[in-house]
Structure 1
């Protein structure tokens, strides 16, 4: 603007001096457009395929940081998606809210593709991070899918690791759940101690089923139905009949998502075979009726 005003002043001076022996001021063209247009402001969007030194549910641009996946890190960003539809038109979804269901479905799909399997079947946890409310008000509509290794089936707090999780469940991964020796307090499960399947144990991971859509309260009040679904997985895993004799072969232990995960839309329930009457010293995968007899 200052240059434009200066040019007009020069043009006025030239008009006054036309009667003298001076050169007429030459037109510089469209003076208003001499300045390049300023670029539109760009909203911060976190990077995908990046490793993180810390995990937060809300990611301010000012404190955002990534690290080399070859070094120690706490989590890995699998995917960065975009909210669309009605969710994008309203206030920012609260962390853990039902409004995040479509985002979690997308995160789950991208995670399975990246690691080569179902993350529920391993010592892994999947979380969703959001922009701050101020960034949302300014137009940010991204969500970030973060995957982290955990210490155990009982302790889902992320732990530091070295190396990317890409392809982590391809082959014989040490992250996969296998055999456990459950520790009880009375008749209540205290924690699951992981052991080699060749060591004495009473539990073995058999798979994950996807629960139907229901409220958290409905799910927690329907433990018998969850047990029944897990028993069906046990029968298929051990290659034994899923009939009235099955409860005399084995019982079940199951780990559902946390309430927060459930509210976001995670319906993956982890199922374990439970041998109350005898210690096992091998995997019961495909063992058949002789390997898992009626007792």
Structure 2
């Protein structure tokens, strides 16, 4: 039996002007540390919300999270895109590189607490900012930020009128479901009723002893883990999956540098072959017919 093909997408970097798959932005739900803010005009406050950019911005930086901490503040019950969920201070004993790693880890932990569940299970993106202008590293603040997003690459921030606190504690509109494949991206859908090419099935965590620099080994491990997540989600065995000419598996997550810094969680999706459209959820499909249009 021929081994099943696995399509792979990786998000590797910070904002548009930094590294990323064909320039794609920031941290999807698997978020990483973002751009640096100068802190000269604004100091972040946990529990506050703001707009991503001033109205009328048309530059590439206007996509997704802004490159520096800023934006117009708004009440979290009014229209906004970004919410600050944690603010801290950099540890005095750390080097700049270790400070960034500490910030990454802190924001990942605090994001799951704030959202009420693993951030990778939601249509959310996270980032962080660190103050530049303090005269000593230990005097600098850092902030952890979250936004609802319309796509996996995080380039589309959704305007909301409520906090994301507890949004992933149970079923709800922000929980990740179905999507359509785009160029190195997924465009999220509000539900699985509309035609779609992908459905989120769960998370896979790469083992702590995995070597992030070994791309092939990492991809094999994540691919196998996500394939198991897909078969469990569908209620299929391995043979059924391998014999299907309709269903495939895709994963999305951190690149080597982020894995090395501790971000090891990948999102697993069941996808269609040749972008054929599904007309319903595949959860618990079992012996049923794959709901493919046409």
Q: CA RMSD in A?
A: 3.3
More helix by share: 1
2:220 aligned with 1:227, yes or no?
Answer: no
Distance in 2, Cα, partners of 1:67 & 1:136: 30
The Cα offsets for residues 145-184 of structure 1, whole Å up to 9 and x where unpaired, read as 111122212443534432211122244422222223435x
The structure-2 alpha-carbon separation of the partners of 1:211 and 1:200, relative to structure 1 and needing over 3 Å to count, comes to same
> Which of 241, 245, 266 lines up with 1:246 in the alignment?
241
Q: Which has the higher contact order (CA 8 A, sep 6+)?
A: 2
- Aligned residue for 2:175, secondary structure, equals coil
| Contact in 2 for aligned 1:56/1:129 (Cα 8 Å) | no
- 1:53 equivalent in structure 2: 51
Residue matched to 2:181: 182
- The 3 A distance-change label for structure 1 pair 260 and 53 is farther
Unmatched segments (≥5 aa) in structure 2: 1-41, 53-64
Q: Report what 2:264 is aligned to.
A: 267
Shift of the 259–175 alpha-carbon distance from structure 1 to 2, 3 Å rule, reads: farther
Deviations 1:233-264 (Å, cap 9, x if unpaired)? 111211222x3442224311111136675465
| Whole-angstrom CA distance in 1 between matches of 2:71 and 2:185 | 35
Tell me the residue number matched to 1:126: 126
Match of 2:287 in 1: 289
Does 221-230 or 122-131 show the bigger shift? 221-230
SS in 2 for 1:112: helix
Q: In the superposition, relative to structure 1, how do residues 57 and 292 fare at CA in structure 2: closer, same or farther (>3 Å)?
A: same
Residues 198-223 of structure 1, C-alpha deviations (whole Å, 9 max, x = no match):
34433211011122345654246643
Residue 207 of structure 1 pairs with residue 214 of structure 2: no
TM-score normalised over the length of structure 1: 0.65
Mapping 1:84-123, distance limit 5 Å: 84=91, 88-93=92-97, 99-123=99-123
Change (3 A) 1:168 1:281: same
The alignment's TM-score, normalised by the length of structure 2, stands at: 0.66
Q: How many residues are paired up? A: 233
Which secondary structure state, in structure 1, belongs to the residue aligned with residue 214 of structure 2?
helix
